[in-house]
Amino acid sequence: MKPQSEVKPDPRRELPSVERLARSLRRHEPTLPKWTAVEAARIEIQHEREHVLNASRPPLAEAQLLERALRRAWRLLAPHPQRVINATGIVLHTNLGRAPLAPGAAEAVAAAASRYVDLELDLETGRRGDRLAAVSDKLARLSGAEAAFAVNNNAAAVLLVLNTLALGRQVVVSRGELVEIGGSFRVPEIMERSGVVLVEVGATNRTHLADYERAIGDETALLLKVHRSNFEQRGFVSEVGLSELSELGRRRGLPVVEDLGSGTLVQIPGLPAEAWAPGRLRQGADLVCFSGDKLLGGPQAGILLGRTDLVDALRRNPLARALRLDKLGLAALDWTLNAYLDGRAERDIPVLALLTAPLERLERRAQRLAERLEKAVGARASFRCLAEPGLVGGGSLPGFELPGVAVAVRAEGGAQRLAERLRQAPVPVLARIHDDELLLDVRTLLDEDEIELEAAIKRALSVASD
């Protein structure tokens, strides 16, 4: 009689139960909420089951699982979004939240969030008021526009304009301006959703005024110009300037709308004039729209400036309610506009301060930071200062570089490993890598960042050397 073949044991049986691992987590860290411990244990055990099955390897020891589950639990508990240190040199980094609010704007948000406010109440009459009246008036004063309006972001502003002024009709736009913005959102798709008919003119690299003229017909509702906010064209290229397009619009009785993407209300020294929104109105645009959390330095918002009749039409569109700013955004925007009106924007709004920081100040700061870090970590890394251009970012002014300085860090194990360690710090640090050096660009470091940056560097190099 042949002996029965032995059944190969399943290594996954060696894994602890979710309940047991969760109990171990809470014994190790009693402050962990129960749901966090259970969820972290469940995720890590499931991952380990899959690794064991696919890789045909023994499971991790329970102590190793506990360590991984503990890291997972703290990630689950971390606030989102959480604070990070921007050492990339990109002032308006979309992945890092674009413009940091001024402290005063943040305080205005906190006050509006924690108390009752006169959001839609006219205190003089006791009747319902207009939530946008104050910011609309301030935007008009700052820009010289006949009227102004604001919605919750610039894509919403474009959607509202097209749906209001051209529903079911044609909108003419250059092929070279049919851009894709962050998150794979494309201008043609926004236009389609707004209910208009897109009429493309010109070629990808060259569009002439005659192309627009030939495209205008009985069903044309408006001419749209879109700023190429996240790329630039060079070589054999041609585009129609805003003043030329505006003159054509006046001759043919058509409004000209410019999606500026990123605009400012003051002329910032050193930045191209095209970023100044009032200047675009002076070139004849009937409506200009741009983001509030880019060069303006305020909260996420879509700012609309232009003719009174067009802005009034936007207000009447039922979509305006769906796209409106909430009380928190309004509080931050109102504070930001007051800073402009008071003449303190370049001092009090972080984005403007970062953009206009003199090179000499950046050089001194980089030198101090390099010396401080070298003293803190000794021979575990080398530090040097080098000229390194920064970027405006956030889909603003493509190809335009900001002169800057970075501290280059070279450490054992390589820059990639150091960057990974820094992202795992209690206050994560984001930086650039070039030629196996980690570049800490000082332009985008806020005043309170350096202590946490030093701690993160020490921690990362200590862990890497263990």
Q: Check residue 466 and give its pLDDT.
A: 46
Q: Which residues pair with 410 in a beta bridge?
A: 382
In the predicted model, what is the mean pLDDT of residues 250-273?
92
φ/ψ of 460, rounded to 5, equals -65, -40
321-334 pLDDT, tens digit per residue, is 999 999 999 999 99
Query: Burial of 441 by CB count in 10 Å (0-12 exposed, 13-18 middle, 19+ buried)?
Result: buried
Q: Is the pLDDT confidence value at 13 over 80?
A: no
Summarize pLDDT for 192-215 with one digit per residue, the tens.
889 999 999 998 889 999 999 999
**pLDDT in the model for residue 183:** 59
Predicted confidence band at 397 (pLDDT cuts at 50, 70, 90)?
confident
Tell me, yes or no, if the two domains 85-95+355-465 and 103-348 fold the same way: no
As a whole number, mean pLDDT of residues 167-195 equals: 85
Pick the CATH number of 103-348 from 3.40.640.10, 3.30.360.10, 3.30.230.10, 3.40.30.10: 3.40.640.10
pLDDT at 184: 62
Q: Assess whether pLDDT exceeds 50 at residue 465.
A: no
CA-based radius of gyration for the chain: 28
pLDDT tens-digit readout, 154-166:
999 999 999 999 9
Predicted pLDDT of residue 127: 94
At residue 49, does pLDDT exceed 90?
no
Q: Decide if domain 85-95+355-465 falls under CATH 3.40.50.700.
A: no
Cis peptide before 426 (omega within 30 of 0): no
pLDDT tens-digit map of 75-121: 898 888 999 999 999 999 999 999 999 999 999 999 999 999 999 99
Kindly indicate the confidence band of residue 187, based on its pLDDT and cuts at 50, 70 and 90: confident
The mean pLDDT value for 249-256 works out to 97
One-character DSSP codes across 426-450: SS-EEEEEETTEEEEEGGG--TTHH
From CA 106, how far away is CA 64, in angstroms rounded?
42
The values of phi and psi at residue 29, to 5°, are -130, 85
| Residue-range domain boundaries for the chain | 12-77, 85-95+355-465, 103-348
DSSP 41-72: HHHHHHHHHHHHHHHT-PPPPHHHHHHHHHHH
pTM of the model: 0.88
Q: Does an H or E element contain 336, and which?
A: helix 327-341
> What distance in Å separates the CA atoms of residue 395 and residue 28, rounded to the nearest whole number?
46
Q: Which tokens sit at 74?
A: 């703290």
DSSP reduced 3-state for 377? helix
Q: Check pLDDT > 70 for residue 45.
A: yes
Rounded Cα–Cα distance for residues 178 and 288 (Å): 17
Q: Among residues of the chain, what percentage have pLDDT more than 90?
A: 71
Retrieve residue 24's tokens.
């171990």
d(CA 153, CA 145): 19
- pLDDT (tens digit per residue) in 349-374: 999 999 999 999 999 999 999 999 99
230 pLDDT tier (thresholds 50, 70, 90): low
Asked if the model's pLDDT at residue 1 lies above 60, the reply is no
CA atoms within 13 A on the CB side of 1: 2
Beginning with the edge strand found earlier in the chain, give each strand of the sheet holding 287-291 in spatial order. 147-151, 302-306, 287-291, 256-262, 220-226, 170-174, 197-201
Q: What angle do CA 440, 443, 444 make, to 5 degrees?
A: 80
d(CA 434, CA 428): 19
